[in-house]
Structure 1
Amino acid sequence: MAGKVSTVHRGGSRFYVNAETREQVPGVTSVLSMQNKPFLVPWAAKMTAEAAVDNLRAVASIAEYDRDGAVDFLKGASRRYTKTRAAIGSEAHDMFERMIRGESIPFVPVHMEPYYEHFSQFLDVVQPELIRAEDIAWSDEHLYAGSFDALLRIKDEDGTPLTVIADWKTGKGTYPDVALQMSAYGFADRLIDPDGNSVPMPHIDAAAVLHITDEQWAFKPVRFDAEVFRHFLHLRATFDWDRDVSKTVIGKPFAKGGPSGGNAIVTGTQRRAISPA
């Protein structure tokens, strides 16, 4: 028994908390946020421009009486899109977990029907055996944790059984940092279930991502090895730098001044030259 795990948010990052020891460690996705993503700036600018063009008359009407309101509407375009996609992703993940556990889904909302159909096809074609789902991978050695989607047993082309750690993605594409994410889960020390029961991380043969959208699905292998995991650990160290160490490296001024002047530094040579009164 390791103690149930909860989460808290501090400074824009998620931390996993062991209820028994009160130990807090950063979440895998918060560690991954340490990556430089320069493409986000032009993407957000594009979303803002599209919101302006698509709502030209409405924005002009709002701006006539409430300039700040119009500005807020436009600058929130990327945030609204991200929030909408996150809601769809959460709803889909909940449905996928129920389906892979063998639960019946009595009602599927219209906007979820394509996801339901494609996940059903995945289950039929791949025939995965569920080992665990939505447990927490916890690293005692490197101090991080994260909730993964599924640990599966599947068969390769030769019929050899493989233990695969898998993730569901419902966005527009799959990106290289999913390999960092999966390595973090797979190289953790133990698994913790919702009741707080802890077991050592089993041997994992491979990692994969199920990219599933309203148009198609694909089950793709993801590179899973020590080299990829080392790159994740670099980000883990960067997280400590960003959150903690960077706040300790600048000291108080030796001297300072301003428009009204300031006190000059008294050097060691000057101090030694001063005679006692």
Structure 2
Amino acid sequence: MSVRTIQRGGARWYVHPELDVKLPSVTSILNMIPKPFLAYWQAKMVAELAVDSLNIVAQMAARDRAGAVDYLKGAATRYTRVRARLGSDAHDLFERLLRGEHVARVHPDLEPYKAAFLEFLALFQPELVHAEDVCWSDTHGYAGSFDAIIRVRLAEDGTPDPDGEPHLLIVDWKTSKDTYPDVSLQLAAYRHADRIIKADGTELPMPELDGAAVLHVTADGWAFKPVASGKAVFAVFRTLQDVFRWDRETSKTVIGRPVATGSQTLITGTQRRAR
């Protein structure tokens, strides 16, 4: 039996196939990081859609004002959904290519991603160790799905070298506009998990990793970047776990029942004179 996931209270949880245990996902814990820029980005998406579609929006509003409002406020969600679908399709493609599958034809939108990933494979010649498995931490209480653990040979400066030293790395594929610092927290969490649970339910100890990296692939090219994932970064992730527990559990217990109440409403002199 494999690990399954459920959604509870806006968070994703991993359910162990045999034990009566569920753990919060790494990504749900990372959602505790404040993202004030998102409000500006969402407002910008709505404003751009409104300006670029003035006539259409005006016609919609004349027939159905509420529908026009929904159309505008959904701009960011629709964009995110399209990008998420592309990212999911790209991840599926990368796994197939990494496993050595011959993928003859892909959607035109995926062609540049396929070409970029094939370049990466040709240059680094990675040996696949694990792909799309679940990391599970009994010690710290979280779980997550990682993209791959690979072995690559690198020169002392970190560049690919077929005669270099082998390095066992946990890697994440990113197809977003840029790579962001929280990928370091994500990979540190995976790296410091206790074990790996494979799709068939087989459990293995998390191997001793040499480091972490992210492969950033866009329609314009790719870049393979080392990512810090040591104890200092992991300590920050553990702090976010505390915030997650505060948000989900502790915050609901800190305010007690009223020890005294009153029902009289004070009427000020200003209010009396206004009557």
- What is the TM-score normalised by the length of structure 2? 0.92
Match of 2:221 in 1: 216
Contact 1:4/1:20 (<8 A) preserved: no
Paired with 2:64 and 2:171, the residues of 1 have a C-alpha distance of 48
- SS of match in other structure, 2:111: helix
Match of 2:54 in 1: 56
Match of 1:70 in 2: 68
Please, which of 200, 208, 212 is the counterpart of residue 205 of structure 2? 200
Contact 1:17/1:25 (<8 A) preserved: yes
Contact 1:34/1:239 (<8 A) preserved: yes
**1:127 to partner: Cα distance:** 1.0
Match of 1:271 in 2: none
Paired with 2:59 and 2:4, the residues of 1 have a C-alpha distance of 46
Runs of 5+ unmatched residues, structure 1: 262-277
Paired with 2:155 and 2:49, the residues of 1 have a C-alpha distance of 47
Amino acid at match of 1:211: H
Paired with 1:252 and 1:31, the residues of 2 have a C-alpha distance of 29
Q: For each residue in 1:213-248, what CA deviation from the matched residue of structure 2 results, as whole angstroms up to 9, or x when unmatched?
A: 111100000012100000000001111110111111
Map 1:22-41 → 2, pairs under 5 A:
22-41=20-39
Amino acid at match of 1:248: T
- What is the TM-score normalised by the length of structure 1? 0.91
Contact 1:208/1:222 (<8 A) preserved: yes
- SS of match in other structure, 2:167: strand
Distance change >3 Å, CA 60–CA 22, structure 1 → 2: same
Map 1:71-220 → 2, pairs under 5 A:
71-158=69-156, 159-220=164-225
**1:8 to partner: Cα distance:** 0.3
Amino acid at match of 1:149: D
Amino acid at match of 2:216: H
Contact 1:137/1:188 (<8 A) preserved: yes
Runs of 5+ unmatched residues, structure 2: 157-163, 267-275
Amino acid at match of 1:157: A
**1:141 to partner: Cα distance:** 0.5
Paired with 1:229 and 1:240, the residues of 2 have a C-alpha distance of 17
Could you say what the CA RMSD is over the residues aligned between the two structures, in angstroms? 1.1
**1:19 to partner: Cα distance:** 1.9
**1:22 to partner: Cα distance:** 2.1
Paired with 2:178 and 2:20, the residues of 1 have a C-alpha distance of 37
- SS of match in other structure, 2:177: coil
- SS of match in other structure, 1:257: coil
